[in-house]
Amino acid sequence: MTTPGGLRVRAIGSSPSVQRPGRACSSYLVRTREASVLLDIGSGAVGNLQLAIEYPALDAIVVSHMHADHFLDVIPLRYGLTYGPLSRDARMPLWLPPGGAQTLRRLCRAFTGEGQKDFLDAVFVVGEYDPAATLQVNDLRLTFRPALHYVESYSIRAECGAASVTYSGDTAPCDSVVEHARDCALFVCEATLGFGTEDEPRGHSSAAEAGEMARRAGVGQLALTHYYAADDAQALVDAARATFSGPVSAIDDGAEFTL
C-alpha cells in the first residue's frame, strides 16, 4: 500500500518546445524525505523552481534527452551557482543521457571566455547515466527505459518505498514506456500532438494516445503535459478520458501531486 507523502511531484515547467504564455519548458521536481531531484530543466525552469525550493537544495538534476526544451536552463542555474548569492559547498550532480555531455559542452563552449574555471565543472559534476542501471539519490530510486522519440530519449521512473511516478519524457506510444509505467501511482505523459496525428517517424503522442498508454500500464492517475497553448487543457483531458478511465488532469506549472 502506498504511504501518502512518500513522494511529492511538482510541475516546474510543463510546456513543449515553445512555452505557453507565462510558462516554462519541461521540468519536474520530485521530492522525498531525503531527496530533491529535478527531472529535466527546460527554459524558465530556474525561475519557477524558486517558487518551490532554493536551487542549491537540489540533490541532482536528471535529463531525459538533449532537446533544448529539456535542458537549456542548466545555463542560468550555472550562473546562479557560480555568482550567488545562493550557493552550495559540493558541486551539483547533473545526469545526462548517454552522449549528452558532449552536446552540452559543445553548447557551453560559446561561453568559455567567462571566468578562469571550466564553465560547467566548477559547479556541476557532469555525468551520463547508464539507462540500464538504477540511479539512487538518497532514498529516491530512478530507472530509465528507451522512449520513442526523434533522438535518444528516456522515460524516467522515480520510486520511494511504495510510491512511484513515471515521467514519459518525449515519446510516441511504445511498449517500453508502457512497461516502465506499469502500476505506478502517477504517469506524467506528454501530449504534444494534442488532438492531432503525425506521420512516421513517430516521436510524440496525442492526448488520446497518452490515455491509451496509461490504460495499458494500469497507472493510478494520468497527468498530461508538454502541450501547446493552442490546445485547450480541458479538451485534452476529455480526449484522454476516452481511452483511460482513471483520474486525468492536464498539468500547469506549479501543479503538485502527493503520492
What are the helix (H) ranges across 142-206? 175-180
* Residues 67-86 close enough to bind Zn ion by CB under 5 A: 67, 69
Q: For residue 213, give the nearest of 239, 195, 187, 248 by alpha carbon.
A: 187
Residue number, 8 or 226, with CB nearest to Zn ion: 226
- 161 CB burial (10 A radius; 0-12, 13-18, 19+): middle
Window contacting Zn ion (CB under 5 A); options: 3-11, 61-69, 121-129, 207-215:
61-69
- Contact of 210 with 242, CB cutoff 8 Å: no
Residue number, 119 or 227, with CB nearest to Zn ion: 227
Distance in angstroms (rounded) separating the CA atoms of residues 73 and 258: 26
Here the cell at position 184 is 505506478
Q: According to CB under 5 A, which one of 170, 209, 212, 231 is a site residue for Zn ion?
A: 170
- 238 CB burial (10 A radius; 0-12, 13-18, 19+): middle
Window contacting Zn ion (CB under 5 A); options: 79-87, 94-102, 107-115, 170-178:
170-178
Distance in angstroms (rounded) separating the CA atoms of residues 220 and 235: 21
Residue number, 189 or 259, with CB nearest to Zn ion: 189
209 binds Zn ion, rule: CB under 5 A: no
Window contacting Zn ion (CB under 5 A); options: 45-53, 103-111, 133-141, 164-172:
164-172
Residues in the interface with Zn ion (CB under 5 A) total: 3
DSSP state at residue 246 = S
Distance of CA 256 to the CA centre of its chain: 14
Distance of CA 95 to the CA centre of its chain: 12
Residue number, 171 or 221, with CB nearest to Zn ion: 171
* Residues 89-128 close enough to bind Zn ion by CB under 5 A: none
Residue number, 20 or 67, with CB nearest to Zn ion: 67
Question: Residues in the site for Zn ion, rule: CB under 5 A?
Answer: 67, 69, 170
